[in-house]
């Protein structure tokens, strides 16, 4: 009796027939249709909508992954961690995830130059798989969970400080702070503009202003699992006014919005001390990984500049007879 050949995995875009297995992706289906229109007219429509891809075997869907642009140019997209169905399959979990992610990376639009993904820093298997696919660690983050009961009562902010929703004016002032925590390679991969900060607005997001200066800001981290997590950023130098203002802002976030957590830079010791003092619980560490698909453009060699040493030195030879060299010896 001969063994049946192993059926290969297939990867296809999300369709209404897949919602029976992934009902949580119902809202993503409309975004997937809009994303296809945006990619057909990149000069008219900015890239904002997510796309979803499904890995299937002969018995149906196995896993799903949602991707979304992180800038309006559509040059950098973010991958969410694959959502896996719990059912038996002849294909292993690692094989399914690798096939799904690799196919998505290869099917990306030609204008997509880089990809990023966040994964738990302690998930060695996920990090190893992403490294095989060409991803490299870019920046570590620390996730904080709010206390069950806010300990700080809501009081007015210190005099001279205001909390403003993100708009076009303060987004330009927040932009240098957001970029200040990123090194040049990370900025090249994300390829963001200050206008992209406007797409990270949401409940609880805003900018802490001191006159026309920005002290800190809260931005929406992403969609899916991270849609209720905010990224708290500040300037490189710690401003003493944050010791009085941030406790009030943290208390407002817990009461006025459904904030499941905050993400801060892993090496931000003053921020970690303040959050711990306010009762926030330290969660898992996350690692931002990226893959750049840009190719270095090498200039063609100019053959006219390639000359032999004889041709170069030939111009240095005198045209007439050489003059006798003076002798230092005794005559």
Q: Do 84 and 150 fall into the same domain?
A: no
Q: Are residues 275 and 146 in the same domain?
A: yes
Q: Which of 1-15, 237-251, 312-326 has the lowest mean pLDDT?
A: 312-326
How far apart are alpha carbons 187 and 209 in whole angstroms?
A: 25
The percentage of the chain sitting over the pLDDT mark of 90, rounded to a whole number, equals 41
- For residue 255, name the pLDDT band (cuts at 50, 70, 90): confident
* The predicted structure's pLDDT at residue 305: 47
Task: Say whether both 194 and 57 belong to one domain.
Answer: no
Distance separating alpha carbons of residues 222 and 229, to the nearest angstrom = 8
Confidence of residue 297 (pLDDT cuts 50, 70, 90): very low
Whether residue 48 is found in the same domain as residue 169: no
Does the pLDDT of residue 315 top 80, yes or no?
A: no
Length of the chain as a residue count: 331
The number of domains in the chain is 2
Distance set, CA 14 to CA 25, 37, 65, 271 (Å): 9, 15, 10, 41
Residue 322 lies in a domain: no
pTM tops 0.75, yes or no: yes
Q: Domain for residue 137, yes or no? A: no
Whether residue 42 lies inside any domain: the answer is yes
Are residues 107 and 169 both part of a single domain?
no
60, 92, 112 - which closes a domain: 112
Query: Is residue 156 domain-shared with residue 220, that is, in the same domain?
Result: yes
Residue, of 244 and 183, whose pLDDT is higher: 244
Indicate whether 40 pLDDT > 50: yes
In this prediction, residue 150 carries a pLDDT of 66
pLDDT at 43 over 70: no
List the domain range (segments joined by +) for residue 64.
10-112
232 forms beta bridges with 218
The pLDDT of residue 45 is 66
Residue 122 domain-assigned (yes or no): no
What's the 3-state SS for 104-149?
A: HHHCCCCCCCEEEEEEECCCHHHHHHHHHCCCEEEEEEEEEECCCC
Q: Which residues is 285 bridged to in the sheet?
A: 142
**300 falls within a domain:** no
Evaluate whether residue 326 is within a structural domain: no
List 55's β-bridge partners, or say none.
Answer: 11, 63
* Residues 91 and 181 grouped into a single domain: no
Question: Are 98 and 177 in the same domain?
Answer: no
Mean pLDDT of 176-181: 88
| 175 shares a domain with 59 | no
Distances (CA, A) of 231 to 165, 218, 325: 15, 6, 77
Q: What is the mean pLDDT of residues 233-262?
A: 87
Looking at the chain, the whole-number percentage of residues with pLDDT higher than 70 is: 76
The lowest-confidence range among 105-109, 269-273, 300-304 is 300-304
Indicate whether 268 belongs to any domain. Answer: yes
Strand partners of residue 261:
229
- Is the pLDDT at 265 greater than 90? The verdict is yes
Are 234 and 158 part of one and the same domain? yes
Q: What is the CATH classification number for the domain harbouring 55?
A: 3.40.630
CATH number of the domain at 281, please: 3.40.630.30
For residue range 69-110, what is the model confidence (pLDDT) as tens digits?
899 888 899 998 888 876 667 778 888 899 999 999 987 667
Residue 46 lies in a domain: yes
The pair of three-digit structure tokens given for residue 215, joined into one six-digit string: 């002290």
Average model confidence (pLDDT) across the chain: 82
Looking at the fold, whether 157 and 251 belong to one and the same domain comes out as yes
pLDDT tens-digit series, residues 147-177: 887 666 778 888 999 999 999 999 999 999 9
Q: Secondary structure of the chain in the HEC alphabet? A: CCCCCCCCCEEEECCHHHHHCCHHHHHHHHHHHHHHHHHHCCCCCCCCCCEEEEEEECCEEEEEEEEEECCCCCCEEEECCCEECCCCCCCCHHHHHHHHHHHHHHCCCCCCCEEEEEEECCCHHHHHHHHHCCCEEEEEEEEEECCCCCCCCCCCCCCCEEEECCCHHHHHHHHHHHHHCCCHHHHHHHCCCHHHHHHHCCCCCEEEEECCEEEEEEEECCCHHHCCEEEEEECCCCCCCHHHHHHHHHHHHHHHCCCCEEEEECCCHHHHHHHHHCCCEEEEEEEEEEEECCCCCCCCCCHHHCCCHHHHHHCCCCCCCCCCCCCCCCC
Does residue 4 surpass a pLDDT of 50? no
Check whether residue 186 and residue 286 sit in a common domain: yes
pLDDT for 320: 54
Q: What is the pLDDT of residue 294?
A: 60
């Amino acid at each position: 009796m001969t063994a049946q050949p192993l059926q290969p995995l297939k990867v296809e875009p999300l369709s209404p027939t897949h919602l029976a297995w992934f009902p949580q992706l119902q809202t993503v289906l409309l975004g997937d249709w809009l994303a296809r229109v945006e990619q057909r007219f990149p000069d008219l429509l900015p890239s904002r909508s997510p796309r979803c891809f499904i890995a299937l075997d002969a018995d149906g869907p196995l896993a799903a992954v949602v991707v979304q642009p992180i800038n309006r140019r559509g040059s950098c997209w973010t991958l969410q961690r694959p959502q896996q169905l719990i059912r038996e399959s002849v294909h292993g979990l690692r094989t399914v995830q690798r096939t799904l992610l690799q196919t998505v990376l290869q099917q990306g639009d030609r204008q997509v130059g880089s990809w990023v993904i966040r994964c738990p820093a302690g998930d060695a298997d996920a990090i190893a798989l992403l490294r095989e696919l060409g991803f490299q660690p870019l920046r570590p983050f620390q996730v904080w969970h709010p206390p069950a009961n806010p300990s700080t009562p809501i009081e007015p902010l210190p005099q001279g400080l205001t909390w403003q929703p993100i708009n076009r004016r303060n987004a330009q002032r927040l932009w240098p702070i957001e970029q200040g925590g990123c090194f040049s390679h990370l900025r090249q991969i994300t390829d963001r503009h200050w206008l992209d900060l406007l797409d990270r607005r949401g409940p609880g997001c805003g900018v802490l202003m001191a006159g026309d200066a920005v002290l800190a800001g809260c931005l929406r981290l992403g969609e899916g699992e991270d849609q209720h997590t905010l990224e708290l950023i500040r300037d490189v130098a710690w401003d003493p006014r944050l010791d009085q203002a941030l406790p009030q802002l943290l208390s407002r976030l817990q009461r006025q919005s459904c904030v499941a957590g905050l993400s801060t830079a892993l090496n931000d010791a003053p921020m970690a001390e303040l959050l711990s003092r306010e009762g926030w619980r330290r969660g898992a560490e996350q690692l931002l990984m990226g893959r750049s698909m840009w190719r270095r453009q090498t200039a063609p060699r100019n053959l006219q500049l390639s000359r032999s040493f004889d041709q170069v030195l030939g111009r240095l030879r005198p045209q007439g007879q050489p003059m006798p060299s003076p002798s230092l010896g005794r005559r």
